[in-house]
Amino acid sequence: MLFNTKEFAIFFAITLAIYWLVKPWRNVQNLVLLAGSYYFYNNLHYTFPIYLACMIGVGYVSAILIDQQTQQTKRKAILIVGICLLGFGLTYLKYSTLILGNITGLEQWQASAIGIIVPLGISYYTFSSIGYITDVYRKRLPAQQNAITYATYVSFFPHLLCGPIASSVAVLPQFSKTNVPTWAQIEQSVAEILWGLFKKMVIAANVEKVVNYCYASHEDLNGSTLFLGVTLFNLYLYADFSAYSDIARGVARLLGIELTQNFKMPFFSRNPGEFWRRWHTSLRKWMLDYLYLPMGGNRGSKLQYVIVMLFIFSFSGLWHGANMTFVCWGLLNGIYFLPYILTDKLTRYKDVVAKGKLLPSGKEFLQLLLTFNLITLTRIFFRAPDMTVVKGLITKIFSASILAVPLKLVVTNVAICLPMLAVEWVQREKEYVLQISTKYPALRILGYIAVIFLIYWLHKRQNTSEYYYFKF
Amino acid sequence: MKKILLLTLPFATLLTLSCGNNIEQQQAATATEKALAESKKAFRAVEDLNNDYREIPDEKMLENGGQNSAIYGEMKKRYKAQLSEFKKEVESTGAKFIVVIITPEVGPGITNRTRYGHPFIKSTCTELGIEHYDLSPAIAAQNPDVITQAPKDGHWSKKGAIFLADQLEPIITKYSTHKTTTTYPDAQRTETFGDLAPGSDEILDGGKNLPYRVVANAQGLRMNEDVKFPKTKQHILFMGGSQIYSPFLDNDFIATTLLAKRHPEMVIMNSGMISGCTDDFLSLWKEKAKYSEPDVVIVQTNGTDITDLFFTNRNHLARSKQPYYPSAEEEKYFRNTYRK
Q: What is the pLDDT of residues B189-203, one digit of tens each?
A: 999 999 999 999 999
**Cα A246 to Cα A203: distance, rounded to the nearest angstrom:** 14
- Residues B40 and B184 placed together within one structural domain of the fold: no
What distance in Å separates residue A100's CA from the closest CA in chain B?
25
Question: Which residue of chain B is at minimal alpha-carbon distance from A210?
Answer: B203
- Percent of chain B exceeding pLDDT 70 equals 91
Number of domains in chain B: 2
Tens of pLDDT along B311-328?
999 999 999 999 999 999
- Residues B37 and B93 placed together within one structural domain of the fold: no
- Residues A67 and A167 placed together within one structural domain of the fold: yes
Q: Is residue A154 part of a domain?
A: yes
**Cα A371 to Cα A89: distance, rounded to the nearest angstrom:** 36
Of B211, B252, B253, the CB nearest to A213: B211
In DSSP notation, A382-413 reads HH-SSHHHHHHHHHHHTSGGGGSPPPHHHHHH
Q: Is the distance from CB of B291 to CB of B38 less than 8 angstroms?
A: no
Contacts of A220 in chain B (CB under 8 A): 250, 252-253
**Cα B337 to Cα A457: distance, rounded to the nearest angstrom:** 43
Cβ neighbours around A239 below 10 Å, total: 26
Look at residue B65 in the predicted model and tell me its pLDDT.
84
Q: Is residue B334 part of a domain?
A: no
- Residues A164 and A196 placed together within one structural domain of the fold: no
- Residues A74 and A105 placed together within one structural domain of the fold: yes
- Residues B6 and B86 placed together within one structural domain of the fold: no
Q: Is residue A290 part of a domain?
A: no
**Cα A158 to Cα A331: distance, rounded to the nearest angstrom:** 31
Phi, psi of A358 (to 5 degrees): -75, -40
Cβ neighbours around B48 below 10 Å, total: 12
Contacts of B203 in chain A (CB under 8 A): 209-210, 212-213, 409
**Cα B298 to Cα A93: distance, rounded to the nearest angstrom:** 53
**Cα B314 to Cα B317: distance, rounded to the nearest angstrom:** 5
Look at residue B188 in the predicted model and tell me its pLDDT.
95
Candidates A207, A214, A217: best to mutate against B (most CBs of B within 10 A) is A217
Contact A213 B210 (CB under 8 A): no
Tens of pLDDT along A109-135?
776 667 778 899 999 999 999 999 999
Distances (CA, A) of B122 to B98, B169, B172, B197: 12, 20, 20, 34
Domain edge (last residue) among A178, A198, A216: A178
Q: Is residue A320 part of a domain?
A: no
Beta-carbon contacts of A359 under 8 Å, excluding residues fewer than 6 positions away, are A365
Q: Is the distance from CB of A224 to CB of A405 less than 8 angstroms?
A: yes
Look at residue A249 in the predicted model and tell me its pLDDT.
96
- Residues A170 and A197 placed together within one structural domain of the fold: no
Contacts of B206 in chain A (CB under 8 A): none
Contact B250 A210 (CB under 8 A): no
Strand ranges for B126-252 from DSSP E? 131-134, 201-204, 212-215, 234-239
- Residues A140 and A237 placed together within one structural domain of the fold: no
Contacts of B159 in chain A (CB under 8 A): none
**Cα A213 to Cα A281: distance, rounded to the nearest angstrom:** 30
Beta-carbon contacts of A152 under 8 Å, excluding residues fewer than 6 positions away, are A30, A31, A33, A34, A37, A175
Q: Is the distance from CB of B148 to CB of B155 less than 8 angstroms?
A: yes
**Cα A443 to Cα B312: distance, rounded to the nearest angstrom:** 52
User: Residues 174 to 233 of B: which have CB under 8 A from any A CB?
Assistant: 201-205, 209-213
Candidates A206, A210, A213, A233: best to mutate against B (most CBs of B within 10 A) is A213
Look at residue A347 in the predicted model and tell me its pLDDT.
79
**Cα B303 to Cα B124: distance, rounded to the nearest angstrom:** 12
Q: Is residue B322 part of a domain?
A: no
Q: Is the distance from CB of A214 to CB of A192 less than 8 angstroms?
A: no
Q: Does B73 touch chain A (CB under 8 A)?
A: no
Q: Is residue B12 part of a domain?
A: yes
Q: Is residue B259 part of a domain?
A: yes
**Cα B71 to Cα B327: distance, rounded to the nearest angstrom:** 10
Q: Is the distance from CB of A64 to CB of A145 less than 8 angstroms?
A: yes
- Residues A143 and A228 placed together within one structural domain of the fold: no
Provide the 8-state DSSP code for A280: S
Q: Is residue A457 part of a domain?
A: yes
- Residues A169 and A226 placed together within one structural domain of the fold: no
**Cα B305 to Cα A391: distance, rounded to the nearest angstrom:** 45
The torsion angle over the Cα atoms of residues B224, B225, B227 and B230, rounded to 10 degrees, is -170
∠B198-B269-B122 over CA atoms, to 5°? 125
Region of residue A434 (phi > 0: left; psi between -120 and 50: alpha; otherwise: beta): alpha
Q: Is residue A438 part of a domain?
A: yes
Candidates B152, B203, B250: best to mutate against A (most CBs of A within 10 A) is B203
Look at residue B10 in the predicted model and tell me its pLDDT.
45
Q: Is residue A220 part of a domain?
A: yes
What distance in Å separates residue B15's CA from the closest CA in chain A?
42
Contact B211 A408 (CB under 8 A): no
Q: How confident is the model at residue B102 (pLDDT cuts 50, 70, 90)?
A: very high
- Residues B10 and B136 placed together within one structural domain of the fold: no
Look at residue B23 in the predicted model and tell me its pLDDT.
59
Number of domains in chain A: 2
- Residues B276 and B291 placed together within one structural domain of the fold: yes
Look at residue B44 in the predicted model and tell me its pLDDT.
92
Q: Is residue B335 part of a domain?
A: no
Q: Is the distance from CB of A234 to CB of A135 less than 8 angstroms?
A: no
Helices (H), A262-323: 272-278, 281-287, 302-320
**Cα A351 to Cα A363: distance, rounded to the nearest angstrom:** 16
Q: Is the distance from CB of A125 to CB of A171 less than 8 angstroms?
A: no
Question: Which residue of chain B is at minimal alpha-carbon distance from A208?
Answer: B203
Q: Is the distance from CB of B300 to CB of B239 less than 8 angstroms?
A: yes
Look at residue B272 in the predicted model and tell me its pLDDT.
97
User: Residues 187 to 246 of A: which have CB under 8 A from any B CB?
Assistant: 209-210, 212-213, 216-217, 220
Cα distance between the two ends of chain B = 88
CB-based burial label for A466 (10 Å; 0-12, 13-18, 19+): middle
- Residues A166 and A240 placed together within one structural domain of the fold: no
Q: Give the domain extent around A239.
A: 184-270+349-471
Contact B211 A220 (CB under 8 A): no
Q: Give the domain extent around B45.
A: 2-52
Question: Quick check: B17 pLDDT over 50?
Answer: no
Question: Quick check: B132 pLDDT over 90?
Answer: yes
Q: Does A385 touch chain B (CB under 8 A)?
A: no
Q: Does B252 touch chain A (CB under 8 A)?
A: yes
Contact B213 A409 (CB under 8 A): yes
Contact A220 B250 (CB under 8 A): yes
- Residues A191 and A242 placed together within one structural domain of the fold: yes
Provide the 8-state DSSP code for B68: G
Contact B203 A216 (CB under 8 A): no
Question: Quick check: B14 pLDDT over 50?
Answer: no
Provide the 8-state DSSP code for A266: G
Contact B209 A212 (CB under 8 A): yes
Cβ neighbours around A221 below 10 Å, total: 25
Q: Does A461 touch chain B (CB under 8 A)?
A: no
Domain edge (last residue) among A178, A200, A231: A178
B297 pairs with which residues across the strands?
A: B97, B237
B101 pairs with which residues across the strands?
A: B134, B301
- Residues A174 and A197 placed together within one structural domain of the fold: no
Look at residue B9 in the predicted model and tell me its pLDDT.
47
Look at residue B242 in the predicted model and tell me its pLDDT.
95
Domain edge (last residue) among B52, B71, B90: B52
Strand, coil or helix: B188: coil
- Residues A174 and A75 placed together within one structural domain of the fold: yes
**Amino acid at site A232:** L
- Residues B135 and B264 placed together within one structural domain of the fold: yes
- Residues B149 and B281 placed together within one structural domain of the fold: yes
What distance in Å separates residue A125's CA from the closest CA in chain B?
28
- Residues B99 and B40 placed together within one structural domain of the fold: no
Instruction: Give the ipTM.
Output: 0.79
- Residues B41 and B178 placed together within one structural domain of the fold: no
Give me the residues of chain A with pLDDT under 70, please. Answer: 101, 111-113, 462-464
What distance in Å separates residue B272's CA from the closest CA in chain A?
22
Q: Does B153 touch chain A (CB under 8 A)?
A: no
- Residues A362 and A382 placed together within one structural domain of the fold: yes
Beta-carbon contacts of A102 under 8 Å, excluding residues fewer than 6 positions away, are none
- Residues B30 and B176 placed together within one structural domain of the fold: no
Q: Is residue A92 part of a domain?
A: yes
- Residues B270 and B289 placed together within one structural domain of the fold: yes
Q: Is residue A249 part of a domain?
A: yes
Cis peptide before B230 (omega within 30 of 0): yes
Contact B203 A408 (CB under 8 A): no
- Residues B163 and B283 placed together within one structural domain of the fold: yes
Tens of pLDDT along B18-58?
444 555 666 667 777 887 888 888 999 999 999 999 999 98
Residue A186's Cβ-side half-sphere holds a number of Cα atoms within 13 Å equal to: 7
Look at residue B108 in the predicted model and tell me its pLDDT.
67
